[in-house]
Amino acid sequence: MEISRPISIGLLYVLQTLYRIVHNYGWALVIFACLIKLLFYPLTRSSMKSMKQMQELQPKINALREKYKNDPQRLNVELMKLYKQQGINPMSGCLPILLQLPILIALFNLFRTTIILRQAPFLGIIHDLSMPDRIIPLGGSHAMNLLPILMGITMFLQQRKTVAQDPRQKFMAYFMSIFMVYIFYNLSAGLNLYYLTFNVLSILQDQWLKLSGPKRE
């Protein structure tokens, strides 16, 4: 927790600065997600290029797995040799996600320990960004939280095309999306709004990179 404290303090300053401009913490979080997306753009572009190369190599990877299925150590050696020949870093696709984790943890701690989002509304349907959104009424005092569900859907849509040819990765995409909905369901609307916005921007960015990539090359 203490490690993320300096990041939380920095994020608090950024959010308060954005709030002074737009006068709404919901829009401040949306803009903040856009800024983070721009910050990670070069890394994301490199990651997508690496993932595309990995997809193109999939037939060779599958052939090696079949050939050395009884020799895991030799398989790892041959896979690393193949990656080196093609100039691919198999871990580069995970790097953007790993670098975003400190920001998510810092935001979680920030919303948990500060009062800036208490009673902060957004779009007239969220009345307190520091609490679960409770957008869909279910009768009486019960309500369903919509933002974490949308966050899970956008997370799956973002991953779907990159794992379409690998049944194991496709299962993991389903599992992780459902798991993230479970984790985020009772967290603050502010954190879910940030993550949902970030996922939507990721989907749009992926589409743009796929359309513009061939022309640039």
Spans of the chain, pLDDT less than 70: 1-3, 90-96, 161-169, 213-217
CB-based burial, 73-96: b 16+ in 10 Å, e otherwise: eebeebbeebbeeeebebebbebb
- Residue 146: per-residue pLDDT: 94
- Residue 1: per-residue pLDDT: 47
Spatial separation of the C-alpha atoms in residues 137 and 207, rounded to whole Å? 34
- Residue 201: per-residue pLDDT: 92
Nearest by Cα to 114 from 9, 24, 33? 9
- Residue 96: per-residue pLDDT: 67
- Residue 194: per-residue pLDDT: 92
Distances (CA, A) of 195 to 51, 135, 147, 160, 198: 22, 17, 9, 17, 5
The encoded tokens of residue 82 equal: 């193949």
Residue 92 φ then ψ, to 5°: -65, -25
Work out the angle between the directed axes of helices 25-39 and 5-22 (0-180°, nearest 10): 120
